[in-house]
Amino acid sequence: MRSEFIFTSESVSEGHPDKVSDQISDAIVDLFLSKDPEARIACETLTTTQLVALAGEIRCKGVYENGEWAPGALDEIEKTVRETVKKIGYEQEGFHWETLTFENHLHGQSAHIAQGVDAAGNKDEGAGDQGIMFGYAIDDTPDLMPATLYYSHNILQRMAADRHSGAAPFLEPDAKSQVTLRYKDGKPVACTAVVVSTQHAPGYDKGEKEAELKAYVKKVIGDVIPAELLSDKTEYHLNPTGSFEIGGPDGDAGLTGRKIIVDTYGGAAPHGGGAFSGKDPTKVDRSAAYITRYLAKNIVAAKLAKRCTIQLAYAIGVSKPLSLYVDTHGTCADGVTDEKIEEAIGKIEKLGGLTPRAIRTHLGLNKPIYAATAAYGHFGRTAEGDYFPWERTDLVEDLKAAIA
C-alpha cells in the first residue's frame, strides 16, 4: 500500500431505484424462505415509472410446486412487493406503492440446475453456480470496514432515519453520498471532499429552503465524520446539479444487482462479480461472499493482521471449494503468514471445509434475514439475533488456536 493516497467510496439510499429493486428481490427471498427453508430463489426486479416487474426462477414447498402456484401465493407476492415500496416511503405520482402496476414473471427452477445443486445419494449439496467470491476487513473503523464506505453509508442512514421520523420532512427517499479521504501510513487523516445528492420536496432548490436543506445535510456530515478529519479545506458538493425533485424509479429505472460495490467494500477490495440480492443461500455468490467476510473480519479482529482479503472459488454442482486464497497485504502479526492463516482455516472443523451446506449451517443462512441487507451494505452491520451472522467475531479464539 502507498504511504499516502486519496481514496473515495460512494453509497446510495434505500430509495435509489437500484436499491428499491434489491429490497424487493430480497423481500421475495424472505417470503419464500419463511415458507420453506430449503426454497430456491433467483428473483430479479425491474422498477420504473409506476411499474414493478419480477422475473426469475423459484422452487418452494407450499408456494410453487409441479409448475403450479398455491392458492393465494400470487396475491401474497404482490402484497410483499407493495409493502416493501411503502416501507421505503414512495407515495409519489410517478411511483406509488398503492397504484403502481405489478407484473410477476417468476417461474419454476430449471431441472438441470436443480440436479447439480441438490444433495442425492452420496453426493453432497453442490454450489448453486460457479464463481469467485471475495471477503475483506480492515482496521479503519470499529466495524472493520473501509472508512470511506463506512461514512458514506452512515450519512445516508442518518438522513433516512430523520426522513422516516419526520425530523427532516423536506427529504424524499432517493439519495447518494460519496466520501473522499486522504490516507497516510495506512490511516485516514483528512476528509478532502463529500458529495451528497438528495431528492427533496418542491421548493427546496432555491432561496431559504435550499439553504435550510444544505445546512441540514452539512450538519449530518459533521455528526457522522469525525471532527478531526474535517477542515476548511474539505470540499462540500451538496445537490450540485440543483433541483432533485424527480427521483427513484420515476427518475431512472432500477434493476437488482447494479450496486454491488456499494453492497460490499466501496471499491477498497475486489468483487467476484456476482450480486447478492434476490438469491437464496445455496447461491455461493451470496453465501460464500458472507463466509469470506466472516473469515476476514475474524482474522483482523484476532489481530493476526491489520488488513485481509480472502478469495474462494466454486464450480456449479461441486461442494468442495476449488481454492482458498488469503492476502494480508503485508500486515501480518509477527510469526504469522498468509500461508499459515490458510492452513488454520482448513483446520477449523466447525467450518466444514467451506462447502455450501457447511456455510449455510454454520452461519444459519436458511432463514428470512435478507431484506435487512439490501440497503446500506451487507457488511459492517451489527450482528443481532439471526441477522448479519457473518459479522460475528466468534471465530477469533479458533483462529488463534489453529495458528498456534
Residues of the chain with pLDDT under 70: 1, 110-124
Catalytic-residue membership of 176: yes
pLDDT for 119 equals 57
- Which of 149, 238, 227, 237 shows the shortest CA–CA distance to 190? 227
Catalytic-residue membership of 185: no
Catalytic-residue membership of 125: no
Asked whether 141 and 380 are in contact (CB, 8 A), the reply is yes
Q: Which of 153, 283, 306, 378 is catalytic?
A: 283
Asked whether 381 and 154 are in contact (CB, 8 A), the reply is no
pLDDT for 130 equals 85
Q: Which of 10, 14, 16, 358 is catalytic?
A: 16
- Which of 156, 125, 129 shows the shortest CA–CA distance to 9? 156
Tens-digit pLDDT profile for residues 305-334? 999 999 999 998 888 999 999 999 999 999
Q: Please, what is the Cα angle at 285 between 139 and 392, to 5 degrees?
A: 40
Catalytic-residue membership of 252: yes
Q: Which of 139, 162, 252, 343 is catalytic?
A: 252
Q: Which of 258, 286, 297, 306 is catalytic?
A: 258
Q: Please, what is the Cα angle at 261 between 257 and 267, to 5 degrees?
A: 165
Q: Which of 10, 26, 44, 172 is catalytic?
A: 44
pLDDT for 217 equals 98
Catalytic-residue membership of 162: no
Q: How far is CA 171 from CA 21, 120, 130, 311, in A?
A: 20, 53, 42, 40
C-alpha cell belonging to residue 294: 466472516
Asked whether 179 and 152 are in contact (CB, 8 A), the reply is yes
Domain 4-13+147-247 has CATH 3.30.420.40: no
In sequence order, what DSSP letters do the residues of 371-382 get, joined into one string?
GGGSSS-SSSPP
Catalytic-residue membership of 285: yes
CATH of span 131-139+257-403 = 3.30.300.10
At position 188, the amino acid (one-letter code) is: P
- Residue 320 is assigned to a ligand binding site: no
Q: Which of 57, 78, 91, 342 is catalytic?
A: 57
Q: Which value, to the nearest 10 degrees, does the dihedral of the CA atoms of residues 226, 228, 234, 239 take?
A: 20
Give the phi and the psi of residue 107 in degrees, each rounded to 5: -145, 180
- C-alpha 214, offset from chain centre: 28
Catalytic-residue membership of 279: yes
pLDDT for 129 equals 78
For 391, which DSSP code?
A: G
User: Domain residue spans in the chain?
Assistant: 4-13+147-247, 17-117, 131-139+257-403
Q: Which of 10, 14, 19, 39 is catalytic?
A: 19
Query: What is the spatial distance between Cα 333 and Cα 4, in angstroms, rounded to a whole number?
Result: 22
- Residue 283 is assigned to a ligand binding site: yes
- Residue 338 is assigned to a ligand binding site: no
- Residue 44 is assigned to a ligand binding site: yes
- Residue 129 is assigned to a ligand binding site: no
Query: What is the spatial distance between Cα 355 and Cα 395, in angstroms, rounded to a whole number?
Result: 17
- Residue 398 is assigned to a ligand binding site: no
CATH domain 17-117 topology:
GMP Synthetase; Chain A, domain 3 (3.30.300)
pLDDT for 157 equals 98
- Residue 350 is assigned to a ligand binding site: no
- Residue 175 is assigned to a ligand binding site: yes
Round the CA-based radius of gyration of the chain to a whole number and report it. 22
Catalytic-residue membership of 16: yes
pTM for this structure? Answer: 0.95
- Residue 16 is assigned to a ligand binding site: yes
Catalytic-residue membership of 283: yes
The two domains 4-13+147-247 and 17-117 share their CATH topology (first three levels equal): yes
Q: Which of 213-224 are b and which e, b meaning 16 or more Cβ less than 10 Å from the residue's Cβ?
A: bbebbeebbeeb
- Residue 143 is assigned to a ligand binding site: no
Catalytic-residue membership of 258: yes
